[in-house]
Amino acid sequence: MGVTSYQKHSMQKIVAVKGMNDILPPDSARWDQLESVVRSLMARHGYQGVRTPIVEPTGLFVRGLGEVTDIVEKEMYSFEDKLNGEHLTLRPENTAGVVRAAAEHNLLYDGPKRLFYMGPMFRHERPQRGRYRQFHQIGAEALGFGGPAVDAETITLAHELWQELGLTGVQLELNSLGQPAERAAHRAALIDYLQARADQLDEDAQRRLHTNPLRILDTKNPAMQALVQAAPKLIDHLGADSRAHLQAVQDCLAACGISWVINPRLVRGMDYYNLTVFEFTTTQLGSQGTICGGGRYDGLIEMIGGKAAPAVGWALGVERVLELLKEQGRASAAPAPDVYAIVPDAAGYPQASALLQGLRRAGLQAVLHAAAGTEPGSMKSQFKRADASGARVALVFGASELEVGAVGVKQLRQADAPQTQWPLADAAGLARHLQSGA
Ligand code: ATP
Ligand code: MG
């Protein structure tokens, strides 16, 4: 049979899409560890997991995030389904998806819900350190809660995560975006201010002047920093209720021993926020210093077609949190096996397999030596592998041991410990022996 053109193409190396990363050992263990810390923390705060589809109707994000946002304007992976013409998008964030799911399944019918998610998000951005096209978020969403105590609860939740991970130097920045009428008053003042200085605006700002002037305050253009610093502040346009809400959030944070700074220029990338907004930032990750961001979004559920209900939440960037852990020397090592099974001759595999099964059932981490071929390879090369695995103990399934119904037990981390024997039939006893530290 001849080589088909498909097979010919498949000979060429295929690499991952730019800005999308493989997560491989030993790094993958750090991901698992972060996720297990998060699961435990979420459970203790009463947050339950949700998993929504990675593909959503494009309209969900256009409506939910706002048409004039970076994400919707230029970062979405949108496509038309070839089979039925539907307009679809790889989710750039998960709040809209969670809210859609809550509305679609009437999740709040029996009261508010505390939810969390973890998973990949997609944004077509210029890849750089801490900024990828497929990246991962972990998020918490408290749906149906209107009071400031729950804003503080979600912030505390994130703060506790940094504590449990041992992260230091993470700063909480807090602001209030007020309510729509307050924003409208501020918007008018801001447009007046910016219009009077139109010659100092860059192209992006010119375009946003009338569509989304608040976003101009978020500019990363160094030439415009002085201009935005001096711009009218939304926080000065807040009414009594909004100010009281912000104060109550701060009271809870203070009671929990959490410190913050008010950043009146803090606006978020999505249009759906009101009242409380916040970010956790670090100076240790260069320009991608925001590890977590969130806020209140009381209008979103109704906007997406659900029954109006208040909500608050945040999302953290997993890659950035892991990078910061590494930066602070907190990257945990991949766990080494307890035992490594050395099998000099392939005939020993049945006994080795059975004993390892018993050890694993007893809770030990046990690795069987195996090679690319059917024969296991020389003793020397097997001991080398055992050593490199980090295992504490090598079990030797040699012919002389197997003949007498035993396995050789060799301590790998004690230079002159003699090799001892243990009965093959007594996996449970051997497990206890090894677990006792022997
Ligand atoms: P930035 O200002 O860095 O673009 P953002 O405001 O767009 O962030 P959010 O949409 O609030 O970010 O997402 C929450 C978190 O997800 C961010 O604080 C960040 O940690 C992470 N994040 C956002 N975009 C990316 C990306 N392209 N690659 C890696 N992490 C990201
Ligand atoms: Mg962004």
Query: Which protein residue's CA is at the shortest distance from atom 10 of ligand 1?
Result: 269
Q: Compute the distance between CA of residue 27 and CA of residue 378 in angstroms, rounded to an integer.
A: 30
Which of 320, 322, 324, 325 is the pocket-test mutation for ligand 1 (most atoms within 8 Å of CB)? 320
Q: Compute the distance between CA of residue 274 and CA of residue 183 in angstroms, rounded to an integer.
A: 9
Q: What is the mean pLDDT of residues 393-415?
A: 96
CA of 271 from ligand 1 middle (Å) equals 15
Nearest atom within ligand 1 for CA of residue 294: 11
Give the per-residue pLDDT at 6.
Answer: 56
The β-bridge partners of 158 are none
Closest by alpha carbon to 231, among 261, 266, 190? Answer: 190
Q: Compute the distance between CA of residue 408 and CA of residue 413 in angstroms, rounded to an integer.
A: 16
What lines the ligand 1 site, CB under 6 Å? 93, 123, 125, 130-132, 135, 137, 269, 288, 290-293, 315-317, 319-320
Q: Which amino acid is at 420?
A: T
Query: Which protein residue's CA is at the shortest distance from atom 9 of ligand 1?
Result: 293
Q: Which residues contact 393 (CB under 8 A, 6 or more apart)?
A: 338, 339, 340, 409, 410, 411, 412, 434
Query: Which protein residue's CA is at the shortest distance from atom 21 of ligand 1?
Result: 317
Nearest atom within ligand 1 for CA of residue 137: 16
CA of 290 from ligand 2 middle (Å) equals 10
**Could you tell me what percent of the chain has a pLDDT over 90?**
87
Q: Does the pLDDT of residue 428 top 50, yes or no?
A: yes
Q: Compute the distance between CA of residue 242 and CA of residue 239 in angstroms, rounded to an integer.
A: 6
Closest by alpha carbon to 325, among 290, 285, 292, 278? Answer: 285
pLDDT digits (tens, 9 = 90+) for 256-307: 999 999 999 898 877 789 999 999 999 999 999 999 999 999 999 999 999 9
pLDDT digits (tens, 9 = 90+) for 107-137: 999 999 999 999 999 999 999 999 999 999 9
Paired tokens of 160: 């506790």
Q: What domains, with CATH codes, occur in the chain?
A: 17-178+238-327 (3.30.930.10), 339-435 (3.40.50.800)
**Could you tell me what percent of the chain has a pLDDT over 70?**
97
State pTM to two decimals.
0.90
CA-derived radius of gyration, the chain: 28
Q: Does the pLDDT of residue 47 top 60, yes or no?
A: yes
CA of 45 from ligand 2 middle (Å) equals 28
CA of 106 from ligand 2 middle (Å) equals 30
What is the pLDDT confidence band of residue 4, given thresholds at 50, 70 and 90?
low
Under 8 Å between Cβ of 401 and 430 = no
CA of 317 from ligand 1 middle (Å) equals 6
What is the pLDDT confidence band of residue 68, given thresholds at 50, 70 and 90?
confident
Q: Does the pLDDT of residue 331 top 90, yes or no?
A: no
pLDDT digits (tens, 9 = 90+) for 351-366: 999 999 999 999 999 9
Nearest atom within ligand 1 for CA of residue 320: 20
Give the per-residue pLDDT at 217.
Answer: 85
Q: Which amino acid is at 333?
A: A
Mean pLDDT score across all residues of the chain: 94
Paired tokens of 193: 């201010």
Cα 111 to Cα 51, 94, 303, 310: the distances in Å are: 20, 21, 19, 12
What is the pLDDT confidence band of residue 1, given thresholds at 50, 70 and 90?
very low
Q: Does the pLDDT of residue 9 top 90, yes or no?
A: no
Between the CA atoms of 297, 49, 96 and 241, what dihedral angle is there, to the nearest 10 degrees? 0
Which of 75, 290, 297 is the pocket-test mutation for ligand 1 (most atoms within 8 Å of CB)? 290
Give the per-residue pLDDT at 16.
Answer: 98
Handedness of CA 339, 27, 118, 267 (dihedral sign): positive
- Cβ count near 78 (within 10 Å): 15
Which of 31, 135, 172, 324 is the pocket-test mutation for ligand 1 (most atoms within 8 Å of CB)? 135
DSSP for 253-311 reads HHHTT---EE-TT---SSTT-EEEEEEEE-STTTT--EEEEEEE-TTHHHHTTS----E
Q: Which residues contact 174 (CB under 8 A, 6 or more apart)?
A: 246, 249, 250, 260, 261, 262, 263, 266, 276, 277, 278
